[in-house]
Structure 1
Amino acid sequence: MENTEDINMHMANLGIEDEENEELVFGAEVEEVNKYELCLVGRFLSEKSINDRAMKSKLADVWKPAMGVTIKEIEPGIYLFQFYHIEDLNWVMNGGPWSFDNIMLVLATIPPGENPIKVALIYVNIWIQIYDLPSGFMTETVGKLLGNFFGEILLYDSKNESSLWRDCMHLKIKLDVRKPLKRKKDN
């Protein structure tokens, strides 16, 4: 058995600081996993509170995801939508715009490594119709110019040019919800 003096000397010689300063380096074999790969984050464009239970039930009923969806409020007014199959997530992102109780839902994907609460929820993809275009202006070039005037053009409906009797042009655009809507473009 060691005496007290030997124990004190032994304790004084311990080099804990060297181990505390040791750096852990991950090699190329370690990949970051995106745990939000099958998730969307969203918020409703309203100051009034949402009936969470009714909203969850209604959206699941409307979306009908084959593998299901879990919806959780992660911060007041911010929801995480977890899907269990990529096709379900894509269908929701490419469909819409979505709303509940006449309140628009803004959805976004979560980039790898990003905190879902920090994702900017400011854009909504929406189909618009443009009426009263002069004859000969139902073209993709005009559609892109008009789409970019109202927001950011995402998709030009190729059926716009398919009939002389079509009375409006359909465009899918990305709108910034922070800006007022533009109702018309004057000549």
Structure 2
Amino acid sequence: MQPELFDLCLISDLGEMGYLFRFYNRVDIDRVVKGASWTFNNYLLVFDQLENNEDPMQIPMIFSWFWVQIHDLPP
């Protein structure tokens, strides 16, 4: 699959490891990170920010924040 360019990022297919999103604007990165949790087709999207020259295939993608709200919990 060829990388696809959208207005806010470049998306590259990494095969079974997932996709690499390259953002060009700090505002867009912050909007995505602060807007977690994200899903696509009922699959959780897990994001991590890479440092310069960091290999995305070496990043363990095993953690995501969740907000859990429980209603009518007895005292």
- Fold match by TM threshold 0.5: yes
The alpha-carbon deviation at position 133 of structure 1 amounts to 5.6
Cα 1:112–1:84, aligned 2, differ >3 Å: closer, same or farther? closer
Residues of 1 paired with 2:45 and 2:52: CA distance?
22
Match of 1:108 among 26, 40, 48: 48
For the aligned residues, what is the CA RMSD? 2.3
Q: Which runs of 4+ in 1 moved over 3 A?
A: none
For the pair 1:81 / 2:21, whether they are aligned, the reply is: yes
CA distance in 1, matches of 2:65, 2:17: 20
1:128 corresponds to: 68
Equivalent position SS for 1:87: helix
> Are 2:5 and 1:91 equivalent residues in the alignment?
no
Question: What is the CA-CA distance between 1:84 and the residue it aligns to?
Answer: 1.4
Q: Percent identity?
A: 30
- Residue 10 of structure 2 is matched in structure 1 by 70
TM-aligned CA deviation for residue 108 of structure 1: 1.0
Q: Name the CA shift for 1:105/1:70 in 2 (closer, same or farther; >3 Å).
A: same
Q: So what's the TM-score if we normalise by structure 2?
A: 0.76
Cα shift at 1:111: 2.9
Contact 1:97 1:104 survives alignment (8 Å): yes
SS at match of 2:46: strand
Q: How many Å separate the matches in 1 of 2:33 and 2:23?
A: 12
Provide structure 2 residue ranges, at least 5 long, that are not aligned to the other structure: none
1:113-141 CA distances to partner (integer Å, 9 max, x unpaired)? 4211101100112211133163xxxxxxx
Q: Which has the larger radius of gyration?
A: 1
Are the counterparts in 2 of residues 75 and 117 from structure 1 also a CA contact under 8 Å? no
More helix by share: 1
Verify the 8 A CA contact 2:17 2:57 in the aligned structure 1: no
Q: Which amino acid aligns with 1:92?
A: V
State the aligned residue count: 71
